[in-house]
Amino acid sequence: MKTKALLFMVLCLCCMGSVQAQQDGRIPAKGFALDAPDGKFRTYEFTRHALGDNDILIETLYAGICHSDIHTVHADWGMPVYPLVPGHEIAGRVVAVGKDVTKFKVGDLAGVGCLVNSCRHCDECETGDEQNCTGRVLTYASKDYHHGNELTQGGYSDNIVISEDFAIRIPDGADLKRVAPLLCAGITTYSPIDFSRVKSGDKTAVAGFGGLGHLAVKYMVRRGAEVTVFDVTDDKRQTALDMGAVRYVNINRPEEMEGLEKQFDFLISTVPVGYDMSSYLKMVRRGGEMAVVGLPSFKEMPSIDANTLIHIEHCKLYGSLIGGIRKTQEMLDYSVSNGIYPDVELIEADCAAIDEAYRNVQQGKVQFRYVIDMSTMK
């Protein structure tokens, strides 16, 4: 009996690169978690579901810090379940593949964004808009009903297991340390810019020149559009102009806001805090479009009244959530082939460094995007 049990154990302890699955096939992982909205990061050991036939196991090499991570862990959008490992901008290397996997092989580079699964049969899934599927499973803080309702845990960790259908191929030659933020900040801006068909010569604007906003500038400059940038300080004025923007507006300087009514064909708002949305909408011309992607805390959620809407003269206002898997692959291929990457600051995979990065993002002290170099994890 004893020998049988030992044999079973040996068979089940499959080796996956440097990761050893447990007896029940679950995969040990180590990451950085918070235990409360006002908590500090601590190292956290947990397990991920076993590698299914269509799954791949990715060793995390880089993980971006998105403002959405900060909103989520601080309970800005409702109380999440803790311990919570954030991170939905993941770039890494495939270290194991399930027996039916065709898209990846061991050694390939792969990325993960905000989604790890969906219902796969609704209209949204059929059309490649899995982000709008009511059964979508987010990369972290989401109940994974495909795996016994366990809570998903994100990319501030040494590995992730994901269905190959939701992993993104990272093209050869990509600048890997700058790829991770494209998986959320990139697709979230690329998708509405594409949806609104921004083209050469269009007058466009970006509200909020942070992680998302600076990628919106790069995408629209690449398309030949004229870009105006709005932010709240003078700090990034020169950087915006160097990036190809034609104008930078510090909204706290009233004189810079003059003469901008009904100017823009397209405006994308990435503002992460409470603000007057109508002040931006009024700058969109008749027939123009404004896409809202910034999602402030529920406590300070901007709204727009009917009177303002009626008087804006037929411009279109819409919201946009990340993007589907096909679109994300398209965005990544496009970004890499056009050399469009985020400006990143690498930080160590260390609790204090991540705590500090969070403070800096909230205090406007980060230039654009922090990326955790997971290879430095102890």
Interface residues toward ligand NDP, by CB under 6 A: 66-68, 71, 184-185, 188, 207-213, 230-233, 251, 270-273, 275, 293-296, 320-322, 361, 364
Pick the closer one to Zn ion by CB: 61 or 112.
Answer: 112
The entry of ligand NDP, Zn ion, none near residue 113 (CB within 5 to 8 angstroms by kind) is: none
Q: Which amino acid is at 92?
A: G
The entry of Zn ion, ligand NDP, none near residue 270 (CB within 5 to 8 angstroms by kind) is: ligand NDP
Measured CA to CA, the distance from residue 199 to residue 288 in angstroms comes to 13
Does the protein bind Zn ion through residue 229 (CB under 5 A)?
Answer: no
Q: Is-contact 138 116, C-beta < 8 A?
A: yes
Site string for Zn ion, 148-187 (x = CB under 5 A): ------------------------------------x---
Pick the closer one to ligand NDP by CB: 44 or 368.
Answer: 368
Element containing residue 94 per DSSP (H, E):
strand 90-97
Secondary structure tally for the chain: helices H, strands E: 11, 21
Asked if the peptide bond before residue 83 counts as cis, ω within 30 degrees of 0, the response is: yes
The entry of Zn ion, ligand NDP, none near residue 218 (CB within 5 to 8 angstroms by kind) is: none
Does the protein bind Zn ion through residue 16 (CB under 5 A)?
Answer: no
How many Cα atoms are found within 13 Å in the side-chain-facing hemisphere of 225? Answer: 25
Minimum CB separation from ligand NDP for residue 205, in Å?
Answer: 10
**In the bound complex, which residue of the shown chain has the CB atom lying closest to Zn ion?**
66
Pick the closer one to ligand NDP by CB: 185 or 353.
Answer: 185
- Left (φ > 0), alpha (ψ -120 to 50) or beta: where does 271 sit? beta
The label of the residue with tokens 């509405």 reads 192
Site string for Zn ion, 46-85 (x = CB under 5 A): --------------------x-x-----------------
Cβ neighbour number for residue 219 with a 10 Å cutoff: 25
Pick the closer one to ligand NDP by CB: 55 or 231.
Answer: 231
The entry of Zn ion, ligand NDP, none near residue 291 (CB within 5 to 8 angstroms by kind) is: none
Q: How far is CA 368 from CA 67, 89, 91, 210, 322, in A?
A: 11, 14, 18, 5, 18
Q: Please count the residues of this chain forming the interface with Zn ion, following the rule CB under 5 A.
A: 3
The angle formed by the CA atoms of residues 182, 154 and 330, to the nearest 5 degrees, is 25
The entry of Zn ion, ligand NDP, none near residue 232 (CB within 5 to 8 angstroms by kind) is: ligand NDP
Measured CA to CA, the distance from residue 283 to residue 264 in angstroms comes to 6
Q: Is-contact 59 29, C-beta < 8 A?
A: no
Q: Which residues pair with 370 in a beta bridge?
A: 65, 345
Minimum CB separation from ligand NDP for residue 72, in Å?
Answer: 8
Minimum CB separation from ligand NDP for residue 318, in Å?
Answer: 11
Residues lying near Zn ion in the complex (CB under 5 A) are found at 66, 68, 184
